Amino acid sequence: DACFYEFIPEKEMMKSLCDSEYKPKTYLMNEVVQDEKYELVISVFKGGAFVRYRVGDVYRCVGLESSSENIKIPRFKYVDRIPTIIDIAGFTRITENSIHDVIRLSGLAVQDWFAAKEYNSNKKPYLHMYIEMKPESLLSNAITQEILKEHLSVYFKYVDNDYSDLKRILGMDPLVVTILKCGTFEEYTRRTGRSIRPINPSPYEVREILKLQNQDYEIIGGGTFNG
């Protein structure tokens, strides 16, 4: 094998995603722990364009040996892409930059947003965008979640050629949009002291954002938003 494998533990991976200057610790194959998740790092010794690079795939260690084959080598199962990439059905990969492009091209008055990969009751993945619109756009236009979804879908198909095939492959619309009330992101930052990650924030962070939809809070510039 012309490659050398290392493994970044999930906690280290998350730290590095939150802080671009943080250098995550890596484990060797004999140091991994069963049932833990790792981001794969590969060093190419020959014939490759890169020397050492993070693949961007996350694997779970499902066993430290194979008793049936009498092999003492860890076994891994693919879980997903790293949280900064939303992989829908292994067919299209959506990044923060691609969503920025979609919003810019759409011309929609989006104040802030985050996106998460979620699953429906049939365990099929979809892209869920949580969007806060600029207050003036809500006053001048009748903006609904359905209108936003239709508008954004057009530009997702333009930015990502594979996106247009997702509805046929999944048998469902791959995009769900939730409109958050004005001031949500600002209030979340005020209460927590941090901004929410734009791509795949933790389920806990999403729940905290949604709780704000039923609460009253002041926003900069005056006024109160009621839940």
Q: Where are the domains of the chain?
A: 3-82, 89-225
Q: What is the CA radius of gyration of the chain?
A: 21
Residue 225 pLDDT grade (very low, low, confident, very high; cuts 50, 70, 90): very low
Q: Are 216 and 207 contacting, i.e. CB atoms less than 8 angstroms apart?
A: no
More confidently predicted of 140 and 190: 190
The tens digit of pLDDT for each residue in 128-162 reads: 999 999 988 776 666 788 888 998 999 888 888 78
3-state DSSP call for residue 149?
helix
- Asked if residues 129 and 118 have their Cβ atoms less than 8 Å apart, the reply is no
Q: Give the pLDDT mean for 206-223.
A: 76
DSSP string, 62-124: EES-BTTTTB-S-EEEEEEE-TTEEEETTTEEEEHHHHHHHHHHHT--EEEEEEEEEE-TT--
CATH code of the domain occupying 89-225: 3.30.300.30
- Separation of alpha carbons 76 and 134, rounded Å: 45
Q: 22-31, 118-127, 133-142: which has the minimum mean pLDDT?
A: 133-142
Q: At residue 89, does pLDDT exceed 60?
A: yes
Angstrom distance (rounded) from CA 91 to CA 205: 27
Helices (H), the chain: 10-18, 96-106, 135-140, 145-159, 166-170, 184-192, 203-211
- pLDDT > 70 in the chain, percent: 89
Tokens of 49: 């364009």
Mean pLDDT of 175-200: 92
SS3 at position 159: helix
Of the candidates 34, 92, 93, the one whose C-alpha atom is nearest the C-alpha of residue 66 is 34
pLDDT at 227 over 50: no
In this structure, the number of other CB atoms found within 10 A of the CB of residue 135 comes to 17
* Mean pLDDT across 159-172: 81
